[in-house]
Amino acid sequence: MRAITFDISLPRIAAAKILGTASSRAFVSTWAPVRCQHVPDPRLLGGDWVLVEPRRVGICGSDVMQVFIKAGIDNPLSAAVSAPHVMGHEVVGTVIEIGNAVKRVRKGDRVAVSPLLSCAPRGLPACEACQHGDYPLCRRFFDGRFAKGMQLGTCSDVAGGFAEAMSLHESMLFPIPESVEFDAAVLADPFAVSLHAVLRAPPEPGETAVVYGCGSLGLMAILLLRALFPKTRLLVIARPRMKSLVDRLGADALFTSQDRELVREIGEFLKVPLRTPLFGSPWLQSGVHRIYDTVGSSETLEIGVRITNPRASIVVVGVAPPKRFEWTLLYFKELALLGSNAYGLETFGGKRRNCIETYLDLLAQNRLNVDGLITHRYPLEHYANAFLSAHNKRQSQAIKVIFDPRLKTPEIRTEAKIERALNN
C-alpha cells in the first residue's frame, strides 16, 4: 500500500535543510526525509487490534513543523520518536477487519481515532497517569512491545494515518454517530486538543478570554468557547484574512496588529490605561483573564504577559521553536503559565469521557458548525503540494488541509475561489 513516511536520516535532513534555505520545496523533494512510497500492508497486531481504512486525515501544525524541520536541533522530544515511521495522527476512517477479541467496534463501523500510544495500546497495565485518563502524561511511551513514540506518526512500529490502511488498538477508536460526516469528524483531534487546553484553566462567566492564533487549534478553541462557555467575552488575535471566519464563529473582537500596537488596541478595547516603560512595548495592569495560546512563540508569549490581568492564566498549547522573550511581568503579575499537551479523559458537564466523545456528541446535537473549514484535500501522492499549502497558508489561503486517500486529484475550495464563483 501507499503511505507517507518520515525518515530521520542525517543526509536527507542535511540536504533538505541546506537546499531549504533557497526554497521550501526542498523539504518535500524526493531526497527529503518525507516521502510517499509503497510499504508493506498493515496486519493485526493482536486479538484486540483492528484494521482501519483512513478516509480523512488532517495535516497538523506539528506535521508541518516536522516536514519543514522547524524544531531546534536540541529539541528534548526527539528522545520520544522512533523512525522511519508513517506520519499522520488526525484520523477518521472505516473498520475493515477486526481481531478475534475486539469488543468496542465492528467491521464497517466509522471511527475517530485517539492517536496516543499509551499503556493500553502497548498492552501494559495502566500507569498512574493512564488510570486517571491523563494519557498524554503516560510514563510508558518508551516501553512495551513497540518502539518508543508518544502517538501515531512518531512510532516506527504502529503506523500513522497518511496511508491506505492502518492497524489500531481498539481502545483508540470512537464510533462516529450516523448523522456526523467524515468531513466534520476529522476535526476531532484538534478539537480535543483545544478542549483539554481550555479545561486546563476554564474561564469563569463574565471573564475575558483570548484565543491567540487561528490555525485548527485556534478555530476549534473559538468554537468550543462559544458553545460551552457562552458567558465568556471572547477576543481573538489572528491574521486579517481570518476576519470573516472569526466573525462567523462568534468572537466578540478580532485584533490583527502586532507588538505595541496590539497591546495599545487591546487596552483601548478593555478601556484600561497603558503602562509605559522607558524602553520597549507598553503593558496593561488590568487585562484579560485567560489566554489560550495556540501559537506558542516568543512573540505570542510576550504579548500574553503584557495584556493579562494579575493572576491570570496563559495556557500554551501551540508549538513554535523557542526563543527569548521579556517575561518580567510573569512574576510581577503572579501569572500562571500552563502547558497543555494532547488530551485524554476530561470531566465536563457532569460526564467523564474522552474529549473525542465530547466533540462527536456536540456535532450529533448540532451544537457546533464546522462547515467550510476544510479548504484543501489531497490524494496521498500529492503530498508535496499538500504540505506546502499547509505550510504557507497566507499564500494558499488554506484553513484546514487534509488527505483523502481515495481522492484522484486535489480539491481546493478557498473563500476567494468561492466568492469568485459566486460573482461570475
Closest to Zn ion by CB, 59 vs 254, is 59
Closest to Zn ion by CB, 154 vs 396, is 154
**DSSP class of residue 76?**
G
Q: Are 37 and 70 in contact (CB under 8 A)?
A: no
What pairing do the DSSP bridges indicate for beta strands 253-255 and 233-237? parallel
Closest to Zn ion by CB, 199 vs 335, is 199
Which positions ≥6 away from 189 have C-beta within 8 Å? 58, 60, 89, 90, 91, 112, 113, 115, 356
Min CB(212)–Zn ion separation in Å: 17
Q: Are 298 and 341 in contact (CB under 8 A)?
A: no
Min CB(269)–Zn ion separation in Å: 31
CA 27/CA 388 separation, integer angstroms: 9
Would you state the cell numbers that stand for residue 349, as one nine-digit string? 458537564
Amino acid identity at 73? I
CA 95/CA 108 separation, integer angstroms: 5
Min CB(217)–Zn ion separation in Å: 8
Distances (CA, A) of 407 to 6, 229, 341: 22, 38, 32
Binding site for Zn ion (CB under 5 A): 60, 118-119, 127, 130, 138, 140
Amino acid identity at 398? A
Closest to Zn ion by CB, 18 vs 77, is 77
Min CB(129)–Zn ion separation in Å: 5
Min CB(190)–Zn ion separation in Å: 6
Distances (CA, A) of 157 to 144, 148, 399, 403: 11, 9, 31, 22
CA 65/CA 52 separation, integer angstroms: 26
> How many Cα atoms are found within 13 Å in the side-chain-facing hemisphere of 280?
10
Is residue 185 packed enough to be buried (19+ CB in 10 Å), middle (13-18) or exposed (0-12)? buried
- Nearest-CA neighbor of 173 among 127, 115, 222, 129? 115
In this chain, which residue has its C-beta nearest to Zn ion? 60
Min CB(127)–Zn ion separation in Å: 3
Distance of CA 274 to the CA centre of its chain: 34
Min CB(140)–Zn ion separation in Å: 5
Min CB(235)–Zn ion separation in Å: 24
Min CB(318)–Zn ion separation in Å: 11
Min CB(118)–Zn ion separation in Å: 4
CA 333/CA 263 separation, integer angstroms: 16
CA 267/CA 255 separation, integer angstroms: 11
Closest to Zn ion by CB, 127 vs 303, is 127
Which positions ≥6 away from 103 have C-beta within 8 Å? 48, 170
Closest to Zn ion by CB, 140 vs 226, is 140
